[in-house]
Structure 1
């Protein structure tokens, strides 16, 4: 049996721990308490104004129960707003507020810095190759996830 340090699951978990810590440190230093999940949801909602929670969950690969709590926190912070859907009265559309736009702009440099820190042990070419291989590996097992990514990105990857 291989050492745990040679197992992809262990290394991916460790990288996730580092990624969250780095993200929180950089974004915290920029004056925000957004978590990586909240950032992903807010950024995705900005890219798709009027998106519903189910679609948002698929875009960022979160289960519907978790995304409800994430959206609730973003609404409570004043960064997202729920509006009744014109198409389906049972559904709500999500819209980023002016405060949400402002926080995304404010933390953008910190988020970019966090991404660079996470890959700082790699050359530019290695970082690009790492990202390509990581995306390829994730795409190959997407459907095995409890919350598979859904939407245009996932469909493109499946081609």
Structure 2
């Protein structure tokens, strides 16, 4: 097997995506400031807010995490007093997740910071490039979803009309 003489790692899509992820997380954490909400915690808070009573397994599929990582995220949010696990009335073994009033307040504080982070991440692109970038990212994520270690389950979205 031949050994390539030189491969420019900066031109490899996987490396560029990893770097962009590092940058995106750095910007996100900088915008969050003292609230110190991570991107994963924000995602969990937003999904539980959107779907009160969601179970942990469904949350994991919604934010594309494995069960143990999701459990850790839920544990940390619960320790901060932002989320509660409640026994499901129809299945005493199942636990439903709901935001506490403090969790709703934390999410309300986090949303403007999250939106600023998204704007800053895309700022180097023109509006047209931003739309095209997001379209292409969605194609890559959707088409490669099944190859993930924790595939996301597409959320049901309300339909217009």
**TM-score normalized by the length of structure 1:** 0.92
The structure that is strand-richer by fraction is: 2
Query: How do residues 79-158 of structure 1 correspond to structure 2 at under 5 angstroms?
Result: 79-152=82-155
* Match 1:77 to one of 55, 67, 80: 80
* Match 1:15 to one of 17, 20, 26: 20
CA deviation vs aligned residue, 1:16-66 (integer Å, no higher than 9, x gap) = 0000000000001xx301111000001000000000000000000000010
The residue matched to 2:92 in structure 1 has which SS? Answer: coil
Counterpart Cα distance in 2 of 1:16 and 1:101: 27
Instruction: Return 5+ residue gaps in structure 1 as ranges.
Output: 154-159
Counterpart Cα distance in 1 of 2:155 and 2:82: 25
Segments ≥4 residues shifted beyond 3 Å: none
Query: How large is the RMSD of aligned CA atoms in angstroms?
Result: 1.4
Deviation at 1:152, TM superposition (A): 2.7
> Alignment length, in residue pairs?
152
* Match 1:60 to one of 55, 63, 66: 63
The residue matched to 1:118 in structure 2 has which SS? Answer: helix
1:4 aligns with 2:9: yes
Which residue pairs with 2:159 in the alignment? none
Deviation at 1:88, TM superposition (A): 1.3
The residue matched to 2:97 in structure 1 has which SS? Answer: strand
Conserved? CA contact 2:46–2:107, under 8 Å: yes
Larger Rg: 2
Instruction: Return 5+ residue gaps in structure 2 as ranges.
Output: 157-161
The residue matched to 1:89 in structure 2 has which SS? Answer: strand
